[in-house]
Amino acid sequence: MLDPIFSLRCRVRLAPGATAHAIFSTVVAESREQVLDLADKYRESATFERAATLAWTQAQVQLHHLGIEPDEAHLFQRLANGILYSDPLLRPAASLLARNERGAPGLWAHGISGDLPIVLVRIDEAEEIDIVRQLLRPTSTGGSSSSTLTS
């Protein structure tokens, strides 16, 4: 395991009224040479700003294509965070999980591999069915999902 924290220290002396800019980038690549190339590429703040602007623009195009409004995107990000990072508040009690006698093979008969997180939505009122429809909205992002919704 890598140490989850590290620190950098750089001493900068400024004259009164002067300004200094520091750029810190974290890059990952398959080789040392590729890392050095990326570090050189992102040395200038304008390169980062351009990449950030392009990423934001691409995200906006994808959201528009999928018909997702900004408030929905925020909701989906919050949900994804809880799912991907296993929020303990979203997990059943340990006693309930311990009652599972079948494990992952019990899912296979239903065409569910168990390799990806499983989201269970429980609603109390029929009027809340739109929440389920919202979560089951088909996407064209290349992911696969299998779901059935009956009223």
Q: Which domain holds residue 61?
A: 20-67
Looking at residue 93, the DSSP 8-state letter turns out to be P
Report pLDDT for 141.
47
Report pLDDT for 50.
92
Kindly state whether residues 126 and 75 are assigned to the same domain. Answer: yes
Residue 77: inside a domain, yes or no? yes
Kindly state whether residues 77 and 120 are assigned to the same domain. Answer: yes
Q: How big is the CA angle at 136 (ends 135 and 139), to the nearest 5 degrees?
A: 100
Q: Tokens for 64? A: 């528009």
Residue 9: CA atoms inside 13 Å, Cβ hemisphere, count? 0
Kindly state whether residues 84 and 36 are assigned to the same domain. Answer: no
Report pLDDT for 32.
94
Kindly state whether residues 37 and 91 are assigned to the same domain. Answer: no
Q: Tokens for 7? A: 């620190």
Residues 6 or more apart from 137 whose CB is under 8 A from it? Answer: 66, 67
CB neighbours (10 Å) of residue 90?
A: 13
Q: Are 132 and 123 in contact, with CB atoms under 8 Å apart?
A: yes
Kindly state whether residues 79 and 42 are assigned to the same domain. Answer: no
Report pLDDT for 3.
60
Residue 144: inside a domain, yes or no? no
**Residue the block writes with tokens 């009224």:** 17
Kindly state whether residues 87 and 119 are assigned to the same domain. Answer: yes
Residue 95: CA atoms inside 13 Å, Cβ hemisphere, count? 0
Kindly state whether residues 75 and 126 are assigned to the same domain. Answer: yes
Report pLDDT for 89.
80
Report pLDDT for 59.
93
Kindly state whether residues 46 and 75 are assigned to the same domain. Answer: no
Kindly state whether residues 129 and 73 are assigned to the same domain. Answer: yes
Report pLDDT for 104.
80
Kindly state whether residues 80 and 124 are assigned to the same domain. Answer: yes
Kindly state whether residues 63 and 86 are assigned to the same domain. Answer: no
Report pLDDT for 151.
43
Q: Tokens for 53? A: 């602007």
The whole-model pTM stands at 0.52
Q: How high is the mean pLDDT in each 10-residue block of the chain (151 residues)?
A: 65 92 84 93 87 94 90 86 79 86 86 82 87 74 45 43
Report pLDDT for 63.
92
N-term to C-term CA, the chain: 48
Number of domains in the chain: 2
Kindly state whether residues 63 and 73 are assigned to the same domain. Answer: no
